[in-house]
Amino acid sequence: MKTFEKVLGSATEKLAYIAMAAIIACMVLVISDIVRREITGIPIPGSYELVELIAALILSMGISYLTFLRGHVWVGVIVDRFRPRTQAIFDLVNGAISLGFTVWLTQAMFAFGTVTRIGGGVTGHLLIPLHPFIYLVAVALALTCVVLVRDMVKATISIRKGGGA
């Protein structure tokens, strides 16, 4: 399990680094667009489209790492007052609901990516194909599903051990 945890942590961390690089790219693009517009009166062509695509990467690439670290906001204030076994049961139920929703989103994103690829979906001005970005979001969601399964397995082990894990 420790090797699996290391590999999973490394994979989610790499996606988080992609999100960080995308944030920097987005900042550089927006600042460059503002400076160019101020100096020449002409914006960078397609900057709005690029920011949209980069934003999709920023949001999706960090989800699995955040889930891996359990850094999301939840009702821990209330749940922390329960016994460890009750907390583990709550984690298991919460994980099952989250996993179901994330699996559904992942499947939908892969299907949408395929439809977009077949249909030749591109951005309006720069004509950048959309499907690679959609598939990247789907892969990030799929990795989030793996993290959620890991959390459910941990919760199940904790429940079986009586909450002591």
Q: Is the dihedral of CA 38, 44, 47, 50 positive or negative?
A: negative
> Do residues 134 and 106 make contact, with C-beta atoms less than 8 angstroms apart?
no
pLDDT band at residue 48 under the 50/70/90 scheme: very high
Average pLDDT, the chain: 91
- Integer Cα distance of 38 and 35 in angstroms: 5
Residue 99 has pLDDT above 90, yes or no: yes
Residue 79 has pLDDT above 80, yes or no: no
Mean pLDDT of 95-106: 96
Write down the pLDDT at residue 163. Answer: 59
Mean pLDDT of 14-24: 95
- 28-47 pLDDT, tens digit per residue, is 999 999 999 999 999 999 99
Neighbours of 95 (CB within 10 A): 21
- 0.85 surpassed by pTM: yes
Residue 165 has pLDDT above 60, yes or no: no
Phi-psi sector, 101: left (phi>0), alpha (psi -120 to 50), beta: alpha
> Do residues 144 and 60 make contact, with C-beta atoms less than 8 angstroms apart?
no
pLDDT band at residue 152 under the 50/70/90 scheme: very high
- Integer Cα distance of 74 and 43 in angstroms: 41
